[in-house]
Amino acid sequence: METVDNKQVERRAFLDFSVVALLATFFGGVFYPIFRFLSPIKTRPGSMGEEKFSIPLADVPEGSAKLVRYKDLPTIIIHTEGLEVVALNAACTHLGCIVKWDDETGRLLCPCHGAVFDKFGQVKDGPAPKPLPPIDVKVEGNMIWLA
Ligand code: FES
């Protein structure tokens, strides 16, 4: 008789634990995304989230590109061979992967699904539906400014 009571108590404790775990998982799954959505974004030190951003021209040699964060967005600055400087949002317009500069082809390649963009952000191949959005850039003296 006593073993039956122990089994019932164990079963009851297991059911109680299961219900609490299920409720915690449910409410955590519902409220955590809402909390994250409503909480303000913290800018990390050095995230360069400010309105203006500058970088020395020497940091982006001719024919190369540099990935920076501007207004807390991935931004790629390209120094073309004709001494022209271009800045583009580096998030692929397909599903948002960060594009990478390919020195050999002079193009931007998306590592996720193979989209290819030219140095002005125009789609040349792959599933990307739109060009990479341009960002205003100017060169003053030896500095590149994004604004
Ligand atoms: S995210 Fe770039 S091609 Fe899919």
Q: What pTM value is reported for the model? A: 0.67
Burial letters 43-59, b for 16+ CB under 10 A, else e: eeeeebeeeebebebee
Give one DSSP letter per residue of 35-89, joined into a string: HHHHSPPPPPTT---SS-EEEEGGGS-TTEEEEEEETTEEEEEEE-TTS-EEEEE
Q: Which of 76, 83, 124, 71 is nearest to 97 (CA)?
A: 76
Closest ligand 1 atom, CA of 113? 3
Ligand 1 probe mutation, 107, 113, 123, 130, most atoms within 8 A of CB? 113
The dotted CATH code for 53-146 is: 2.102.10.10
Structural domain boundaries of the chain? 1-39, 53-146
Written as six digits, the tokens of 147 are 């604004």
Ligand 1 probe mutation, 76, 88, 93, 97, most atoms within 8 A of CB? 97
pLDDT per residue rounded down to tens, the chain (147 residues): 555 677 888 888 999 999 999 999 999 999 988 888 787 655 443 444 567 889 999 999 998 999 999 988 999 999 988 778 999 999 999 999 999 999 899 999 999 999 999 999 999 999 999 999 999 999 998 999 998
Residue 123 near ligand 1, beta carbon < 6 Å: no
Contact indicator for 79, 55 with CB cutoff of 8 Å: no
Enclosing H/E stretch for 33: helix 2-38
Work out the angle at residue 67's Cα, subtended by the Cα atoms of residues 48 and 52, and round it to the nearest 5 degrees: 35
Contact indicator for 121, 88 with CB cutoff of 8 Å: yes
Residue 115 near ligand 1, beta carbon < 6 Å: yes
Query: Distance between CA atoms of 80 and 63, rounded to whole angstroms?
Result: 5
Provide φ and ψ at 137, rounded to 5°: -140, 145
Distance 58 CA to ligand 1 centre (A): 30
